[in-house]
Structure 1
Amino acid sequence: MTPAQSMLRAATGLSLSKSVVERAIKNRMEQTAVTDHDAYLEHMTPEELTALVELVVVPESWFYRDAQAFAAMTEFVRARLKADRDRLVRILSIPCAGGEEPYTIAMVLADAGIPPRNFMIDAYDISPACVERAKSGIYGRNAFRAQDLSFRDQHFTSDGDGDYRINDAIRKQVRFKQGNLLEFDLSTRSAYYDVVFCRNLLIYFDKPTTKAAIAKLAALLMDDGQLFAGYAEVPSFCQHGFSPLPYNQAFGLRKEVATPARKPLHTPRGADKAKPAPPRAARTIASPPSLPPAVPSSRSRPAAATPPAAAPVVDLLAEARRLADLGDVKAAERACRDHLAQHPESAEAYFILGLLNELTNKPQMAADYWKRCIYLQPDHYEALCHLALLAEANNDAAGAAALKARAARIYKRQQASLDAKP
């Protein structure tokens, strides 16, 4: 990992490829008229680091994205207020991107007849530019991708030039702030929120950062609260103290209080397959534990004889993950291809190749590899989730919905299988 990658990772928690980081640095050097790469990094100021971060964060969102989660949230809020009609329900949206998600939460609750005095939404994003855009409440046509746009007529005012401004009644229900989840001070926010929306954030984290982020979210959420994640992130939460809620395609979770850790979703199907990578649009790929040493033969040998040293067995998929973590994408790809030369039907190798190509901004090649993966292993949950994310990025709503539904069915079957085991 280069010093620039390390710097941005420390600032954001994101695991970014060398090419993404260098492209952002080149852009900023051109804008600031700096010609020396090393000098640019050496004289980095907090303001310049913020500008650099703006070029590597992914702030895309839209109103009513994955609407099932909002329906499940509304049911939960109603139950809260039925038990205590004077309660203030606190909701967190992080990351909030340009404000589309928290404003949707406010619109949905308002439309459900929840009094404004009974809910408040805190919305955070690491990007100051996103927070400012959210505060402005002005959106172009690209933010309105839902099939039913009646909410736009009810809660927005058109400026006549194609932009829409959200009405003040909704705006005042949301408090926007710039912030990084990993740096949250929990001293005053422990068990503070009834509901947390954290969707499509963990997909950009490596395994240790994912664990740390989930620990922060668990601390912020009330013990009987609900959390809504991105569909590719549910297994990561289940591996770190959460259990899924029975809402169809809402991807809701609750904390498991004083219960043992759940078993992982996937187990290897064959001797050639390493433990699957965590289900996320990963920017790094964590290596599995080392294999135990080989058991020596029980056949007796002469006391003076020294057994020949066994040739080390290289787990090429584990090596590919290790190399990817070091930022050596080309060597990681070679390790995957060497593995495929020995095991041409290894779905996991194609899955990792897809991650590596996504890492280097080759989405079409990534999609091709993930399609090969699910051809060989139709129930590969992670590959389906990544393909769904790509479909969303390409504005293929129907394709994304079909892939998400398929992934949800697979996850439900796998969860039921795990729950049935003693």
Structure 2
Amino acid sequence: MSALPNAFADDSSGVGRFIDLLHRTIGLDAESIGANAVARAVRERYHLWRDERGGTLDDYYRAVTQDGAHMQELIDAVVVPETWFFRDPEAYAALARLARVRLHERPAKPVRVLSAPCSTGEEAYTVAMSLLEAGIPAERFTIDAIDVSERALAIARRAHYGRNAFRGRALDYRDRHFVASDGGWQLDPAIAQSVCFSQANLLQLDALAFERFDFILCRNVLIYFDRDTQCAALRVLDGLLAQGGTLFVGPAETGLLMREGMSSANIPLAFAFNRPEHERANVFRGGWPRQHTPHSQHAPHSQHDPQIIAKPIKPAFVLPAWASAPPPVRATPVMTPREEAPKEPANLTHARALADAGQLDDAARAAHAYLSAHPSNADAYYLLGVIADARGERQASRGHYRRALYLDPAHREALAHLAACLSLDGDESGARLLLARAGRISGAAR
């Protein structure tokens, strides 16, 4: 980090060095989540440490740099995992469809799925539910889920979730796969057992130690890293991806994948990518980050697959549980089972369905028809932006996203997509401003 964030330009409190340490260790840009939030987390962890052991902030800094456990505690405190079931549902629907095709082409071999990093397990379990509901029996797929945080993995293995894990309008899956228990919901053991959770550092994995995966979900992670760390992560992921496999990322990361040579799977709203057919080797052009002295050494392990033996490789970054979190977003109302969500207009729902089916021209006409009656609807302009992106109409897509943000400055999807567009255009500072704006909106909502 060339300079400390503005909040610590005059760092009389001594917190700025922790921000620099987090950047060196995990690639975190403090501005992506808010420098003041990082400062609060540092102070909270320091006060807990001081109450237990005594000592100054200088003493705590030395403890963090010398003890991997203290470093991990600080990472866990800096950004709390923020994930939920069936986020971006089109991605899971696409994965299930592609898995059926994969099994048809290769009936003797189960499909392999990796969630990395998996945070508290919602993503991996959503994959399992999606595959089972698509008619794929449990013995026809394997799901591995890795994260560096044992605290997050303990939550995942327990498979018991509160209201915050269930968001959006469609919650019927909760009735099918969960039972009310202890003030929350307990996942069906049959589904919970279909996922293998392991502690591992994504950026220290040796791809040669793995049987490759047909599908990898690494969503809303790369946006928190600088360019070198992004390239390191992408190289690891590409090494883990099977020939003909599909990599799912977050909406704000699509520009990065296209810039680095991956091909869009052209599935609307799924944010899915494949390695180009002519590419046999790793496609990512960026260089590896400089090696840093690791502050935390984790011993990755697998509970059920002897082929998963993670060997440390450069660079020695630590990938924390928070990296599975999506970019800062607007607060989404969480509904009790008795509450009913407002229904989206039928004709806009129809437009989305057409886009999901790949009928882009019909979807655009339906969205425009809706706008003729509701000219101030940000969701319709956002959908037109996605359609334009799928058509390769770069200028039109950016115009639609900007219109959506004019009408709704806190529109999460429009912010994420426009940031990806700007990044693809080489406007990294503009993209970062949009992501920082999303962070301020999220902080205000909380």
Is the TM-score greater than 0.5? yes
Q: Looking at CA atoms only, which structure, 1 or 2, has the larger radius of gyration?
A: 1
Distance of 1:112 and 1:151 partners within structure 2 = 13
Q: Do 1:12 and 1:180's aligned partners in 2 also have CA atoms closer than 8 Å?
A: no
- Could you tell me which residue of structure 2 aligns to residue 127 of structure 1? 149
Could you say which residue in structure 2 is the equivalent of 1:246? 266
Change beyond 3 A, Cα 1:188–1:237: same
Please point out which of 193, 201, 221 is paired with 2:241.
221
**Shift in Å at residue 16 of structure 1?**
2.2
Please give the root-mean-square deviation of Cα atoms over the aligned residues, in Å. 2.9
Mean alpha-carbon deviation: is it higher for 31-40 or for 59-68? 31-40
TM-score (norm 1): 0.63
Superposed CA offset, 1:55-109 (max 9, x none):
1234111111111011111111101111232312110112212111110100111
Structure 2 CA distance, aligned partners of 1:416 and 1:43? 50
More relative contact order in 1 or in 2 (CA 8 Å, sep 6+)?
2
1:88 aligns with 2:110: yes
Alpha-carbon deviations, 1:368-405, whole Å to 9, x = none?
A: xxxxxxxxxxxxxxxxxxxx955444559989966753
1:15 pairs with 29, 32, 41, which one?
29
Corresponding residue for 1:412? 390
Residues of 1 paired with 2:169 and 2:26: CA distance? 34
Report the 3-state secondary structure (helix = DSSP H, G, I; strand = E; otherwise coil) of the residue aligned with 1:176.
strand
Say whether residues 1:62 and 2:84 are aligned partners: yes
Gaps of 5+ in 2: 2-15, 284-325, 335-340, 345-376, 396-446
Using the alignment, how far apart are the partners of 2:40 and 2:87 within structure 1? 30
Deviation at 1:223, TM superposition (A): 2.1
Residues 124, 143 of structure 2: 8 Å contact kept: yes
Where 1:187 maps in the other structure, the secondary structure is: helix
Letter in 2 for 1:27: E
State the distance in 2 between where 1:20 and 1:124 align. Answer: 26
Partners in 2 of 1:229 and 1:135 — Cα distance? 24
Return the offset for 1:162: 2.9
Aligned pairs (5 A) from 1:138-217:
138-159=160-181, 161-189=182-210, 192-217=212-237
**Aligned-pair distance for 1:24?**
2.0
Query: Following the alignment from structure 2 to structure 1, what is the Cα–Cα distance between the partners of residues 332 and 220?
Result: 16
Q: Is 1:230 the counterpart of 2:250 in the alignment?
A: yes
2:111 maps to a residue whose letter is V
- The structural deviation recorded for 1:127 is 2.6
Cα-to-partner distance string for 1:325-378 (whole Å, 9 max, x where unaligned): xxxxxxxxxxxxxxxxxxxxxxxxxxxxxxxxxxxxxxxxxxxxxxxxxxxxxx
Letter in 2 for 1:188: A
The amino acid that maps onto 2:222 is L
SS in 2 for 1:232: helix
Aligned residue type for 1:254 = N
Give, in angstroms, the shift of residue 147 of structure 1.
1.9
Change (3 A) 1:406 1:16: farther
AA aligned to 1:4 is: F
1-structure distance, mates of 2:382, 2:251: 7
Structure 1 unaligned blocks of 5 or more = 263-387, 418-422
TM-score (structure 2 length as normaliser): 0.60
CA spacing shift, 1:407–1:52, aligned 2, 3 Å: farther
Distance 1:181 1:404 in 2: 33
2:128 is the counterpart of 1:111: no
Q: Hey, what's the Cα distance between the residues in 2 that align with 1:231 and 1:89?
A: 24
Note the C-alpha offset of 1:145. Answer: 1.2
Identity %: 36
